Amino acid sequence: MRIVSWGPRRGERAGLLSDGFVVDLNRADGALPSDPRDLFRGWERLEPKLRKLSAAPAASLASSCREPLGSVRLGAPSPDPGEIVCLAGNYEEHIKEGECVREMKRTAHPKLFSKAGVTASGPADDIVYPRGVEKLDYEVEIAVIIGRAARSVPAAKASGVIAGYCVLNDVSARCAQFGDGQFFRGKSFETFAPMGPALVTPDEAGNVADLRLRSWVNGQVRQDSRTSRMTFPIPEIVEFVSGVFTLRPGDVIATGTPAGVGVFMNPPGLLQAGDLVEMEVDGLGRLANRVAAPRDAS
């Protein structure tokens, strides 16, 4: 299944991608919620109904239940996550590219930081370049979306708490992240977490332990790697994070980025207003976000 949110920002409805349409879940089945947050809160109970609906051809549903995909705005699959947990240095190649600029090293355990939940934005939304930011950067990542409350979950059982996966761009203001060491501030300007285009359930996502992930800026390839190069694979990440605090349905884990980020290029390849930033993970879909002219984030 491919679950989406759609509609105006902060007013998204829960939907399902089917045959080139967005199916509105609540209009198609009144037992399903209209609010994506309620969908995640009830994921375990509602998943069988979702699968039944996904098995029906979109054309068999009333026209009032579906919209052509190209006619609607997609939001983040989890548009209001309580937590966006991120990993630093989870690809050895990314650590190596940063050694000449920053002191980066491999750690014995996943190295965590976070982004504010309000950074979540849609797969085609603008990345707003905030005033005062001088070094704007991109990072392609595969993200995990949690479907069941998870506390101290062993790696062997991690798949049981994962609703699905999506593409995520960990947009970063390097001037804050590195300049004054504030990872949270540097990562948490609004619109700094485009994600999507859909939550792809594990049965459809394929082998997430070995998927190709890439990024482009204005058509130029910047990153090209595979998830198999992660230092800590997804089950171990879920185990580690859930051992720190309880993960709740709708929470997002961004699993780290490979080499090729702009700040470590020579010369630096940082983002400018007007740039088109694209991200893709095989089988999960593609993001395409334009960098908007500097203004206050909104």
Whether 151 and 206 have beta carbons less than 8 Å apart is answered as: no
Tokens of 94: 């990314």
- pLDDT tens string, the chain, 298 residues long: the values are 999 999 999 999 999 999 999 999 999 999 999 999 999 999 999 999 999 999 999 889 999 999 999 999 999 999 999 999 999 999 998 888 776 555 566 678 899 999 999 999 999 999 999 988 889 999 999 999 999 999 999 999 999 999 999 999 999 998 777 777 678 888 999 999 999 999 999 999 999 999 999 999 999 999 999 999 999 999 999 999 999 999 999 999 999 999 999 999 999 999 999 999 999 999 999 999 999 986 644 4
d(Cα 149, Cα 248) in Å, to the nearest integer? 5
d(Cα 260, Cα 215) in Å, to the nearest integer? 9
17-47 burial, b if ≥16 CB within 10 A, otherwise e?
bbeebbbbbbbbbeebbbbbbbbbbebeebb
Task: Label the pairing between strands 172-173 and 212-217.
Answer: unpaired
Whether 194 and 125 have beta carbons less than 8 Å apart is answered as: yes
d(Cα 17, Cα 15) in Å, to the nearest integer? 7
What is the three-class DSSP state of 205?
helix
DSSP 235-281: HHHHHHHHTTS-B-TT-EEE----S--GGGSSS---B-TT-EEEEEE
Domain map of the chain by residue range? 2-74, 76-292
The whole-number pLDDT of residue 171 equals: 97
Q: Is the peptide bond before 249 cis (omega within 30 degrees of 0)?
A: no
Q: Which of 53, 67, 12, 55 is nearest to 250 (CA)?
A: 12
d(Cα 254, Cα 172) in Å, to the nearest integer? 13
0.85 cut: is pTM over it? yes
Looking at domain 76-292, which of 3.90.1580.10, 3.40.30.10, 3.90.850.10, 3.90.1150.10 is its CATH number? 3.90.850.10
Tokens of 277: 């930033």
d(Cα 145, Cα 275) in Å, to the nearest integer? 28
User: Phi, psi at residue 156, to the nearest 5°?
Assistant: -65, -20
d(Cα 126, Cα 290) in Å, to the nearest integer? 5
Whether 208 and 162 have beta carbons less than 8 Å apart is answered as: no
Tokens of 171: 């947009």
d(Cα 286, Cα 172) in Å, to the nearest integer? 19
